[in-house]
Structure 1
Amino acid sequence: MNTDYQIGQDNIVGKLGPFGFDIHNRVFAISALASIIFIVLTLVFPEQAGSIFQSVVNFSTGTLDWYFMIVVDFFILFSLWLVVSPYGSVRLGGADARPEYSYLSWFAMLFTAGIGIGLLFFSVLEPVYHANVSLPLSVLPPFGEDGALNPDAIPEASALGLAGTFLHWGIHGWAVYVVMALALALFTYNKGLPFSIRSVFFPVFGDAVWGWRGDIIDILAVFSTLFGLATALGLGAQQANAGMNFVFDLAVNTTTQVIVIVLVTAVALVSVWRGLDGGLKKLAEMNMILAMLFFFFVLFAGPTLVGLDGFWTGLVTYVKELIPLSAPFGREDDAYRQSWTIFYWAWWVSWAPFVGMFIARVSRGRTVREFVLCVLLIPSLFIFIWMGVFGGIALDQLYADPESSLVKDYVIDNYRPELSVFGMLNELPLADVTSVLAIILALIFFVTSSDSGSLVIDTITAGGKVDAPRPQRMFWATVEGLVAIVLLIGGGLSALQAGVTATAIPFSIVMLVMCYTITKALKGELRRIRG
């Protein structure tokens, strides 16, 4: 371990505060106070807040679309360069470090923390919507202006709809996580610094990183994590509520969604109290098993070959169209890019502190090459299989019988995205059973996201400590739920998108600087290994 980087770090180590909290005073106080002020103001002035949120979305997606596209493309190139460079042999934690978790447990935790509710919410919605409404590239839509189906347009439109979905959930997003997680792992395990975002910037600011400059970085990370999580929790509440309406005829409204958030946050608090191994790890593994059962039922109860073809066709088209879909300029589909892709890139960046810190926490002992390849490719491949099968089956249902298709009703005719997966399940056997399972999966994803998010925010606000008191983590789990609630009240989906994009703009700049500090740290590690 390199101790040269440890100068002055005692300035940020958490101190015992009120209620037994072990906090870094400035970061905790400012983050907590600002969060509470935001919650109160949004509740008191919901209409004004909604207007502001929509303005933020319009500016971020309409004016800065080119910026987000370039930044995320760069993260992919940087990650791939690390794989082929000599730096790939560096081991996180030093030459003698070995992984704490098996591949199965590691992948399960990556799966639940880094993917979450999106697998359920978007797996039917996106392929169908892109193929029939937004179309990632300009092709003939299957349904003409008169609503008549054009069979000749189906294959190309379906393939592009799946490819557009793969774009948003594939290697671009995971490259964002790679940068954040690798930076934290290197400076924590190899350089001996606190497990905090600010530690990554020691090569830039030196000892000054333990002062106000580091405070700003950590506070940005807290807000980025809060709003990224709130978006996921809000979407999760909407889908759980929609599923309960579909199965039990429970009303769909903001009140019900708030109740869902409150109940699930209460369960998350129990998981937080049990700790990483006793709570989150067990929930993650259980969720992995339930998700696999759910996936294989859909695959084999539905038209199996159609589902597998959806995966393969989507993958081939994704690879073929990856560069055009990733290009920041010279495209004809501005509405698609600004409405979908830019929101996703901002969401991935906003989630980066949360998921990146969590991935770093469970990845000690991996080599850089192993780490980058596994984090970049394994979850992406899993997502492609899942969304290819679900999307392919949903598209087949849609075109086989458009007049009675619930998928068409929920995605194209009467846009109710939270119901899209239930529309697909309705045409398979045991629809009531699988719909209940989908609700349970959504709720567990909800819990694991809240749990792991509170762990990360707690670590940041405790000055990098990973064993801060439980009440402190419970405090942040509660705040996450409250932020999700006020965003739903203050503007629904627009508010959720605004929270993500507003925090992603400054934090993307922070992450670009991280690429430099990662390179500098790896140079030092490689020099030490070679003697």
Structure 2
Amino acid sequence: MLKSKMNPRVFWGASLIIGALLAAALIAPGASDYAFGHAQDWVIATFGWFYVASVAGFLLMVLWLAIGPTGKLKLGPDDCEPDFPYLSWLAMLFAAGMGIGLMYFAVAEPVQHYAAPPEAEPGTFAAAREGMVITFIHWGVHAWAVYAVVGLSLAYFAHRKGLPLTLRSGLHPLLGRRINGPIGDAVDIFAICGTLFGIATSLGLGVAQINSGLTYLTGLPSNAWVQVGLIAVVMGAAMVSVLTGLDRGVRRLSELNLTIAVGLMLFVLIAGPTGFLLKAFVQNFGLYLDQFFQRTFNLYAYEPRGWMADWTLFYWAWWIAWSPFVGMFIARISRGRTVRQFAAGVLLVPTGFTFLWMTVFGNTAIALDMGVAAGAITQAVQTDLSTALFQFFEYLPGTAITSTLAVILVAVFFVTSADSGSLVIDTIASGGADDTPRWQRIYWCSMEGLAAALLLLAGGLGALQAATLVAALPVRGDHDPADRRAGAADVRRRRRARDRHRAAAAGRAGQAHDGPRPSPGHRPPDRAAWPAGHAGGRRRPDGRRHGDRRGDHPRGRGGADRAPSRLGRLHLAADRRVPAPARPVAAGGARGPAQRGMAPDGSGPGGAPSGRDRLHPRPDRGRNPRRPGQVATGMSR
């Protein structure tokens, strides 16, 4: 019998939902396309402002956590060291965060904005500048801020607080102990479904580009069945990687991925218009900073345009939909780093590399399209996005070599996305466990490949992409206000219980070590009333106990010759008043406060507060209990 380490409700619940959605896409692909497409249009049209505000808020939150005092906090015990070297850590988070998208859109997006910009005249220098700024906005710090928020919250609660590394742990401040119940299971099921379908759509894009490259290099036919065969081959390599674990398979492939990517980018930089690209990189970055706030909050509210829904809002929803997968993976590999190191590494380093990558490929493609290509690259982009990269390589030397490297790079990105996604899904389904059985990792890796293959055959990748974007809406923490109130009440209840436990433990320790010590808000009886031989602490030569700073004055502090303070004088004036007659305590009768040895006002014998009042003094009696000959003044010492 196979050994398992899983949360059965999450494991089999997610499997059931994934199977149902795949069956619906296979049985009625046209209906699913229509339903999910209209749902996507409605969500973006209705909540577009919320997407923009949320992404801006995520960025501000990450910057505040990194710059403030929390930046020194370590994601793990204070003495722990990072699990991975810095370069390996950057390579893994870069491969998981962007991956296939950089290869697919490096040429396609800048050229599309150049051909159809939202404001400038198409095909002009102004359109080229605007297209590069928009590309920087879509692939810059905004995307990584979404990943950083999820990854930072999960890393803190998992590595610092000892909670399981699952998406439900990030909701612990809101839901409290209810994350271990049905609500937490539903959150994890949702995360698994969103992660698997998001990876499946990306795998569909990647395999289409691999097929286009092989068609260009070898004449291999480009159809759905060939792509299914490519999925089987690449997923086989992903299974080998996922079985070797995070430290060997995923880490080594990510390092190989980054090495090939840097080599390909340097080749294009040297073979292309090098001087122009370096100038364009500096100018693109300056324009990005100049238009940062305008593009961050721009919604074209005064002059509505469909371009906003097709591009910016689509990207924001897509990054949010990917955040459970990428955020969990980043959290898993970031143990031992401080919050400031985490934020700087996640926000700045991948963004800088992405800007350079987009400038080298995008500006080179636009320059070639304006010159020797004479619009051929724009035509190729508008015809088929997957062929744009290989059409671009035709205008550079060593076309066969660069196209081969591009196919290898897309395939390795394919494998790293699949194996890291399988590890993340398996971690969620197993309740945060790391050393899960191999069959569970193989199971989820196979599910990813099966979903991508079936959706390619059914033509349902577009519907699945739309469904993923619609599902991104609740990932941002759009919870019911009743849940917030209930979660806050649960937190307050647990804090009160913790305070009572600490106070009771301190009282027991004081009685065992040094006699009955006064609790907060309670003045102990005079020393003269203590029994002889009482272990109240060692006496000093003047007869007072060590640690007793009270003078002989009943209310003052210091020596007996010290004048009482203003507050002490008020208490002296109160002591001269005639006290109310004490109500005798009956020896029998009905059960009540007097039956338990308590005065009618709730205090214990001799005016000492009861256990509850010592923890929560009543405001109408002040902090100090009433003693014979003393009237409560309602004032606190």
Normalising by the residue count of structure 2, what TM-score does the alignment of the two structures yield? 0.73
Equivalent residues in 2 for 1:110-121, closer than 5 Å: 110-121=93-104
2:591 corresponding residue in structure 1: none
What CA deviation, in whole Å up to 9, does each residue of 1:307-362 have, x standing for no partner?
22332232222211222222253454632221111221122111111111111111
1:456 corresponding residue in structure 2: 424
Equivalent residues in 2 for 1:175-254, closer than 5 Å: 175-254=145-224
**Conserved in 1, the CA contact under 8 Å of 2:300 and 2:308?**
no
1:7 corresponding residue in structure 2: none
2:128 corresponding residue in structure 1: 158
Would you say 1:85 and 2:99 are equivalent positions? Answer: no
Distance (Å, rounded) in 1 between the aligned partners of 2:308 and 2:289: 18
For 1:20, what is the secondary structure of its paired residue?
Answer: coil
1:278 corresponding residue in structure 2: 248
For 1:375, what is the secondary structure of its paired residue?
Answer: helix
Distance (Å, rounded) in 2 between the aligned partners of 1:104 and 1:110: 10
Equivalent residues in 2 for 1:255-404, closer than 5 Å: 255-331=225-301, 332=303, 334-403=305-374
Q: Does the C-alpha gap of structure 1 residues 480 and 380 become closer, same or farther in structure 2, counting only changes over 3 Å? A: same
Moved more, 260-269 or 18-27: 18-27
Task: Give the deviation of 1:249 after TM superposition.
Answer: 2.1
Task: Give the deviation of 1:372 after TM superposition.
Answer: 0.7
Equivalent residues in 2 for 1:36-51, closer than 5 Å: 36-51=19-34
Q: Does the C-alpha gap of structure 1 residues 446 and 29 become closer, same or farther in structure 2, counting only changes over 3 Å? A: same
Distance (Å, rounded) in 2 between the aligned partners of 1:192 and 1:512: 27
**Conserved in 1, the CA contact under 8 Å of 2:112 and 2:378?**
no
**Conserved in 2, the CA contact under 8 Å of 1:310 and 1:391?**
no
What CA deviation, in whole Å up to 9, does each residue of 1:388-438 have, x standing for no partner?
1100100000101353x4312212xx4211111112111000101110110
**Conserved in 2, the CA contact under 8 Å of 1:138 and 1:333?**
no
Instruction: Answer 1 or 2: which has greater helix percent.
Output: 1
Equivalent residues in 2 for 1:475-494, closer than 5 Å: 475-491=443-459, 494=462
Distance (Å, rounded) in 1 between the aligned partners of 2:65 and 2:330: 17
Q: Which amino acid aligns with 2:388?
A: S
Q: Which amino acid aligns with 1:373?
A: A
Distance (Å, rounded) in 1 between the aligned partners of 2:437 and 2:280: 47
For 1:64, what is the secondary structure of its paired residue?
Answer: helix
Moved more, 357-366 or 483-492: 483-492
Q: Which amino acid aligns with 2:389?
A: V
2:7 corresponding residue in structure 1: 24
Distance (Å, rounded) in 2 between the aligned partners of 1:309 and 1:511: 47
Gaps of 5+ in 1: 1-17, 143-152, 525-531
The one of 388, 396, 419 aligned to 1:428: 396
**Conserved in 2, the CA contact under 8 Å of 1:309 and 1:392?**
no
Q: Which amino acid aligns with 1:125?
A: A
Identity %: 42
1:14 corresponding residue in structure 2: none
2:121 corresponding residue in structure 1: 140
Count of residues in correspondence between the two structures? 485
Would you say 1:59 and 2:42 are equivalent positions? Answer: yes
What CA deviation, in whole Å up to 9, does each residue of 1:134-185 have, x standing for no partner?
x1x412222xxxxxxxxxx31x211110111111111011001111111111
Task: Give 1 or 2 for the bigger CA radius of gyration.
Answer: 2
Distance (Å, rounded) in 1 between the aligned partners of 2:41 and 2:216: 33
What CA deviation, in whole Å up to 9, does each residue of 1:91-122 have, x standing for no partner?
11032122121111111111111110011100
Q: Does the C-alpha gap of structure 1 residues 59 and 494 become closer, same or farther in structure 2, counting only changes over 3 Å? A: farther
For 2:76, what is the secondary structure of its paired residue?
Answer: coil
2:469 corresponding residue in structure 1: 501
Distance (Å, rounded) in 1 between the aligned partners of 2:237 and 2:480: 36
Distance (Å, rounded) in 1 between the aligned partners of 2:64 and 2:21: 41
Distance (Å, rounded) in 1 between the aligned partners of 2:161 and 2:479: 19
Distance (Å, rounded) in 2 between the aligned partners of 1:294 and 1:50: 37
Q: Does the C-alpha gap of structure 1 residues 168 and 511 become closer, same or farther in structure 2, counting only changes over 3 Å? A: farther
1:13 corresponding residue in structure 2: none
**Conserved in 2, the CA contact under 8 Å of 1:57 and 1:497?**
no
The alignment's C-alpha RMSD in Å is 2.2
The one of 457, 462, 466 aligned to 2:434: 466
For 1:19, what is the secondary structure of its paired residue?
Answer: coil
Task: Give the deviation of 1:215 after TM superposition.
Answer: 0.7
Gaps of 5+ in 2: 496-637
Q: Which amino acid aligns with 1:172?
A: H
Distance (Å, rounded) in 2 between the aligned partners of 1:278 and 1:373: 25
Distance (Å, rounded) in 1 between the aligned partners of 2:91 and 2:98: 11
Distance (Å, rounded) in 2 between the aligned partners of 1:416 and 1:309: 30
**Conserved in 1, the CA contact under 8 Å of 2:167 and 2:191?**
yes
Q: Does the C-alpha gap of structure 1 residues 304 and 482 become closer, same or farther in structure 2, counting only changes over 3 Å? A: same
Task: Give the deviation of 1:492 after TM superposition.
Answer: 5.0
Q: Which amino acid aligns with 2:121?
A: L
**Conserved in 2, the CA contact under 8 Å of 1:227 and 1:503?**
no
Moved more, 302-311 or 445-454: 302-311
What CA deviation, in whole Å up to 9, does each residue of 1:6-46 have, x standing for no partner?
xxxxxxxxxxxx73231101111110111112222222222
Name the structure, 1 or 2, with higher relative contact order (CA <8 Å, separation 6+).
1
2:51 corresponding residue in structure 1: 68
